[in-house]
Amino acid sequence: MTTVKTELLTHIKAKYSIIALQTSEEARAIRIIGEIAADPQTVKRQVYIGSITKGLYPADDEKSAGYCAPIDLLNSVEEQQNQTKPAPTIYILLDQHEAITNDITYRRKLRDLQTLLKAKNSTIILISPTVEVHPDLSKTITVFDLPLPDKVELEEILCTRVKYLQKQVKTLRDEITSKPEQTAQIQKKLDTLVPITEALIKQATEQKDAIVSALQGTTGGEADQTIAKCIVLKDLNISTILQEKKQIVKKSGALTYQETDETIAGIGGLKNLINWGKSARNRFTETARKYGLTPPKGVIFVGAPGTGKTLSAKALSNLFNIPLLTLTMAEMTSKYYGQTGNNMIAAIKLAQAMSPCIVFVDEIDKMFGTSGGNEHEESARTRGALLTAMEESTGIFWLATCNQPTALAPELLARFPTVFHVDLPSVTERREIFSIHLKKINRDPGKFELDRLTSVSEGYVGREIRNALQEALGQSFDENVEITTDHIVKAIRTITPTSVQRKDDISRIRKWCELNARPANEQPEKPESPTTLEADLNKELEI
Ligand SMILES: Nc1ncnc2c1ncn2[C@@H]1O[C@H](COP(=O)(O)OP(=O)(O)OP(=O)(O)O)[C@@H](O)[C@H]1O
Ligand SMILES: [Mg+2]
């Protein structure tokens, strides 16, 4: 039995008479409740559904009595339960959230009904996409969140589709006997359908676990639609399922499924970080799990702008070979007050269902940094939701980047077991960065004076080196000649590096990192004195 079924059942058995189920999957919720109620081993209840458009009717005999005000639905429930020996019933009431919030009579009626329902072993389950319990009802209503389907439920959804295929074949076979005049026609249909069905059933059986894992993170409806699409395509192909799932995540708003071709080979320097990444990757394996190791929980890269933090994060996702879901604040911020925290919870829930995955929070200091004491209540709540999610999540690798570590709340930083300081690149590292980016523009690094380039670029970060190369390439293109070391040197000299512009910021980061982070760069060099660099630059630029 799925977890949500077990939980609901426990509450029904324990005579919780009024339950609110928060979900946008109404049909799935009704199906689940129906299955609980039908099980004679457990509670055995009759089920009624009530809506404002159809009134109250038995779940297995849908008939519309036309418009029915929410309070009248409660009156109908009361009437039934006041009969002599009423059958224990589950009343699924839809569309009640407005009345709960705005109608004091409705709230009173719900509270009045509580004792009656308890005495008669009956339950009201209110289903709605958002549940805001009015303080009047805080002791009356128990709120449940319908989680995304777990593996057991996804397997059920897959089985239902497979059974439907088998049923189609059976119906056709029966028709051959019952409609002998159409035998040839039916046989032709069977000849097409049977091999497809058999192949799909074989796939569904042999690859059940992989299919179910690939479906994780989808709602019941989405999972069913995805399987249906695969059936139409005659292939329960895992990559089709993953492709569909990416579309679903894209629609979700707060999370972006990011595909990236960045690899660790494209990172110049940062050897300590890369080596850590390689050993972390091995902890995600089954062998490591059997050995007793748990996969690492997360890492944060702290450092000056343009040093390769975002680049390294993307490369790590390829190294780990697990999907990178980027948390984007803009999409999450809601115009409805108080909703942002909920959006965050929904995003994490989705990520959790898609685990193993990486949740990437780029520039976390800008998203969740504190601005001193007078922080907005909403952002404090959202940060709180993130903190809880990070603490409780399993199967999510938390990856973040940050420029200003001092702006981060210590409790947020503490959620990252590993902190790397990504510093300005050393001589060797700059050489690697030049080589990587020269190769990217299809030039042979061997044809350039790399010693000269690394020497003039002291204090420059990867982004500035890449930009200088582009600038030089543009220049040589305009001159209609091949790019040379001179072009690049000239371009470098037109850029004032961040290490000069934001000298103080960089010293602050370094100071903080000395105590709180490990170096991402191998053999960090003694930083060049920015004063010398500044003087050199001024001389070069003839300022
Ligand atoms: N170590 C590096 N090796 C190769 N390329 C680099 C390196 N560092 C930076 N780059 C180049 O600079 C670009 C920008 O770097 P990136 O976005 O990773 O910087 P960042 O540290 O995240 O900066 P910010 O703090 O401003 O977000 C990269 O896409 C890459 O092209
Ligand atoms: Mg970045």
Band of residue 219 on the pLDDT scale cut at 50, 70, 90: confident
467 and 391 within one domain: no
Taking only the tens place, the pLDDT of each residue in 501-533 is: 889 999 999 999 998 999 999 864 555 444 444
| Residue 319's CATH number | 3.40.50.300
Domain check: are 325 and 387 in the same one?
Answer: yes
Identify whether 257 is part of a domain: no
User: Roughly how many angstroms between the first and final C-alpha of the chain, as a whole number?
Assistant: 76
- Residue 340 is predicted with a pLDDT of 66
User: Among all ligands shown, which has an atom nearest to the Cα of 441?
Assistant: 1
Is 421 a pocket residue for ligand 1 (Cβ < 6 Å)?
A: no
Query: Which of 401, 422, 429, 466 gets mutated to test ligand 1 (max ligand atoms within 8 A of its CB)?
Result: 466
Q: State pLDDT tens for residues 72-112.
A: 999 999 999 999 888 899 999 998 988 998 899 999 999 99
Nearest CA to ligand 1 atom 10: 462
Main-chain phi, psi angles of 97, to 5 degrees: -65, -35
In this predicted structure, what is the pLDDT of residue 542?
A: 45
Q: Which residues contact 16 (CB under 8 A, 6 or more apart)?
A: 123, 142
The alpha carbon of 391 and the centre of ligand 2 are apart by a number of angstroms equal to 24
CATH of the domain at 520: 1.10.8
Q: How many domains does the chain have?
A: 4
**pLDDT above 60 for 536:** no
The closest residue, in CA terms, to atom 12 on ligand 1 is 463
Closest ligand relative to 260 C-alpha: 1
Residue to probe by mutation, ligand 1, list 261, 270, 310, most atoms within 8 Å of CB: 310
Based on the fold, state whether residues 403 and 388 are members of the same structural domain.
Answer: yes
Residue 211: how many other CB atoms lie within 10 Å: 22
Q: Are residues 481 and 439 in the same domain?
A: yes
Instruction: Please tell me the distance from the alpha carbon of residue 498 to that of residue 509, in angstroms, as a whole number.
Output: 13
Q: Output the CA 310–ligand 2 centroid distance in Å.
A: 4
**Is 300 within a domain?**
yes
The reported pLDDT for the residue numbered 535 is 45
Determine contact, residues 9/45, Cβ cutoff 8 Å.
Answer: no
pLDDT at 337: 52
Please work out whether the CB of residue 311 comes within 6 Å of at least one atom of ligand 1. Answer: yes
302-306-311 Cα angle (round to 5): 75
Q: Does residue 283 share a domain with residue 401?
A: yes
Kindly report, residue by residue over 143-202, the tens digit of the pLDDT. 888 888 888 889 999 998 888 888 888 888 888 888 888 888 888 888 888 888 888 888
Among the three residues 372, 396, 422, which one is the final residue of a domain in this structure? 422
> Can you give 62-94 as a three-state secondary structure string?
CCCCCCCCHHHHHHHHHHHHCCCCCCCEEEEEE
Asked if residue 25 and residue 88 are part of one domain, the reply reads yes
pLDDT band for 38, please (50, 70, 90 cuts): confident
Predicted pLDDT of residue 50: 94
Give pLDDT, residue 342.
Answer: 67
CB burial of residue 240 (10 Å; 0-12, 13-18, 19+): middle
- CA atoms of 281 and 295, how far apart (whole Å): 8
Q: How far apart, in whole angstroms, are the C-alpha atoms of residue 240 and residue 248?
A: 13
Which residue out of 434, 463, 466, 467 has the highest number of ligand 1 atoms within 8 Å of its CB and is therefore the one to mutate?
463
Q: Which ligand is nearest to the CA of 520?
A: 1
What is the helix (H) or strand (E) element at residue 508, kind and residue range?
Answer: helix 503-516
pLDDT tens per residue across span 377-426: 667 777 787 888 888 888 889 999 999 998 888 888 888 999 999 999 99
355: alpha, beta or left? (left if phi > 0; alpha if psi -120 to 50): beta
Residue 251 pLDDT:
63
| Percentage of residues in the chain having pLDDT higher than 70 | 90
Please name the amino acid found at residue 229.
K
Between 247 and 474, name the one with better pLDDT: 474
Lowest mean pLDDT among 20-24, 47-51, 517-521: 20-24
The ligand minimizing its distance to the Cα of 460 is 1
Across residues 252-281, what is the average pLDDT?
88
- Classify the phi-psi angles of 127: left when phi > 0, otherwise alpha if psi is within -120 to 50, otherwise beta: beta
With a 6 A CB cut-off, is 219 part of the ligand 1 pocket? no
Which value, in Å, is the radius of gyration of the alpha carbons in the chain?
A: 31
Supply the pLDDT for residue 239.
80
pLDDT tier at 225, thresholds 50, 70, 90: confident
- pLDDT score of 1: 64
Pocket test for ligand 1, best of 260, 274, 301, 311 (most atoms within 8 A of CB): 311
Find out whether the beta carbon of 268 lies less than 6 Å from any atom of ligand 1: yes
Query: What is the token pair recorded at 479?
Result: 């001159």
Determine if ligand 1 sits within 6 Å of the CB of residue 216.
no
Q: Which residue lies with its CA nearest to atom 5 of ligand 1?
A: 462
The amino acid at 207: Q
For Cα atoms 306, 307, 309, give the angle at the middle one, nearest 5 degrees.
Answer: 95
Q: Are residues 276 and 417 in the same domain?
A: yes
The pair of three-digit structure tokens given for residue 18, joined into one six-digit string: 């009024």
Q: In what order do the strands lie in the sheet with 324-327?
A: 255-258, 324-327, 357-361, 396-402, 298-303, 418-422, 518-519
Query: What are the structure tokens assigned to 97, written together?
Result: 């959230």
Nearest to 121 by CA among 241, 205, 12, 263: 12
Is residue 51 one of the residues assigned to a domain? yes
CA of 321 to the centre of ligand 1 (A): 21
Looking at the domain assignment, is residue 368 inside a domain? yes
Q: Is 445 helix (H, G, I), strand (E, B) or coil?
A: helix
Given a cut of 90, whether residue 489 has pLDDT beyond it is yes
What integer is the mean pLDDT of 482-503?
A: 92
* pLDDT score of 211: 86
The answer to whether 311 and 266 are in contact (CB under 8 A) is yes
pLDDT, mean of residues 315-333: 80
Nearest CA to ligand 1 atom 17: 310
Are 366 and 458 found together in one domain? no
Same domain, 414 and 269: yes
d(CA 224, CA 157): 6
pLDDT the model gives residue 242: 79
pLDDT given at position 252: 63
Residue 310 has a pLDDT of: 94
pLDDT at 347 exceeding the cut of 50: yes
Residue 166 lies in a domain: yes
| Final residue before a domain boundary, out of 191, 226, 252 | 252
Residue 258 lies in a domain: no
Tokens 């091949």 belong to: 482
What is the Å distance from ligand 1's center to 542 Cα? 29
Ligand 1 contact, 462 CB (< 6 A): yes
Q: Which of 261, 307, 429 most suits a substitution to test ligand 1, by most atoms within 8 Å of the C-beta?
A: 307
Q: Considering every ligand atom, which ligand is closest to the CA of 403?
A: 1
- Looking from the CA of residue 403, the nearest atom of ligand 1 is 25
- Nearest residue to 28 (alpha-carbon basis) of 149, 166, 189: 149
Domain end among 128, 145, 162: 145
Cβ–ligand 1 distance for 269 under 6 Å, the answer yes
Closest atom of ligand 1 to 401 CA is 22
Verify whether ligand 1 is closer than 6 Å to residue 401 (CB atom): yes
pLDDT value of position 478: 94
> Residue 302 pairs with which residues in a beta bridge?
402, 421
Q: Is the CB of 267 under 6 A from ligand 1?
A: yes
Q: What are phi and psi of 325, to 5 degrees?
A: -110, 115
Q: Is the whole-model pTM more than 0.85?
A: no
Range of the domain at 466: 427-541
Provide the edge-to-edge strand list for the sheet that holds 123-128. Answer: 55-58, 46-51, 89-94, 123-128, 18-22, 142-145
Task: Determine the atom of ligand 1 nearest the C-alpha atom of 268.
Answer: 3
407 and 269 within one domain: yes
pLDDT in tens, 113-132: 999 999 999 999 999 887 77
pLDDT digits 0-9 by tens, 439-470: 999 999 999 999 999 999 999 999 999 999 99
Instruction: State the pLDDT at residue 205.
Output: 86
What number does the ligand 1 atom closest to the CA of 311 have? 18
Please give the distance, rounded to the nearest whole angstrom, from the Cα atom of residue 124 to the centre of ligand 2. 50
Decide whether any atom of ligand 1 lies within 6 Å of the 305 Cβ.
Answer: yes
pLDDT at 250: 66
Average pLDDT, the chain: 85
Q: Are residues 83 and 168 in the same domain?
A: no
pLDDT of residue 125: 96
Rounded distance, CA 33 to CA 37, Å?
6
10-24, 304-318, 485-499 — which is least confidently predicted? 10-24
Is 163 in the same domain as 138? Answer: no
